[in-house]
Amino acid sequence: MGDDPVKVVLLGNSGVGKSNLIARYHANEFSNEFMSTIGVEFVTKKIEVDGVAIRLQIWDTAGQERYASMMKTYYRKAKGALLVYDVTSQSSFDSLEIWRKNLEANADPQCVSMVAGNKCDMEGVVDEAAARAYADAHSMGFMMTSAKTAQNVDTLFEEVARRIIATMAAGSGAAAPRPAAGGGMKLSAPPNGGSSSGSKQSSDCC
């Protein structure tokens, strides 16, 4: 994949846990306090998936309606998208279709997507089978995650990276896999203002 960063965007209603998913993945952090994201932020993390090095550039923005105008720029050049809902909020799941259509209208047609049912450490109200079926129907991957306990967080980002690698390889035929050099990460703008720690979390299924 070379050293070019690969853009992944997180989408979903305000409060579903986008920033905390990124903070957990990037810095192994979680905050119980709800501080809605202002503007657009990104972090980068270099990982290796199936022997291929890839530098993910993970973008976060507020899921609030008033930021809708900046979304066109947000989607630009995204190779992957994570559509996040909160398993305790039916309306956050119902909104995914709006986010998906927005993505479809603005992102590159090659952009791969995954649905994440976040907050799976809590009792959910959203029917998981229906959520999986929805993801399937639109050729999106599906995963239940918890930014709080770290369940499936690494797996979620690794899976989207895997799908991006496969799509890029199929599209260009040029990207020769090269071994990853180190596990360096660069914090360009911390989602929750904290510093990195970087230890690996469990990725058992919920």
> Residues in the site for Mg ion, rule: CB under 5 A?
18-19, 37
Helix (H, G, I), strand (E, B) or coil at 3: coil
Whole-number minimum distance, CB 179 to ligand GTP, in Å? Answer: 33
Q: Which is nearer to ligand GTP, 32 or 195 (CB)?
A: 32
Name the phi and psi angles at 112, rounded to 5. Answer: -95, 150
Nearer to Mg ion, 184 or 193 (CB): 193
Binding site for ligand GTP (CB under 6 A): 12, 14-20, 31-34, 36-37, 62-64, 118-119, 121-122, 146-148
- Residue 33: CB minimum distance to ligand GTP, A: 6
The minimum distance between CB 180 and ligand GTP, in angstroms, equals: 28
Q: Name the minimum Å distance from CB 54 to ligand GTP.
A: 24
- Looking at the Cβ atoms of 12 and 80, the one nearer to ligand GTP is 12
Main-chain phi, psi angles of 142, to 5 degrees:
-140, 140
Nearer to ligand GTP, 57 or 118 (CB): 118
Beta carbons of 180 and 53 less than 8 angstroms apart: yes
131 binding partner (options ligand GTP, Mg ion, none; Cβ < 5 to 8 Å by kind): none
Pick the closest to residue 78 from 102, 50, 48 (CA basis). 102
Binds 117: which of ligand GTP, Mg ion, none (CB < 5-8 Å by kind): none
Distance between terminal CA atoms of the chain?
31
| Partner in contact with 155, chosen from ligand GTP, Mg ion, none, beta carbon below 5 to 8 Å by kind | none
Alpha-carbon gap, residue 205 to 151, rounded angstroms: 7
In this structure, the number of other CB atoms found within 10 A of the CB of residue 125 comes to: 11
Q: Write down the least CB distance from residue 184 to Mg ion, Å.
A: 25
Spell out the residues 6+ positions from residue 48 whose beta carbon is closer than 8 angstroms to its own: 54, 179, 180, 183
**Would you put residue 190 in left (φ > 0), alpha (ψ -120 to 50) or beta?**
beta
Q: Which is nearer to ligand GTP, 37 or 57 (CB)?
A: 37
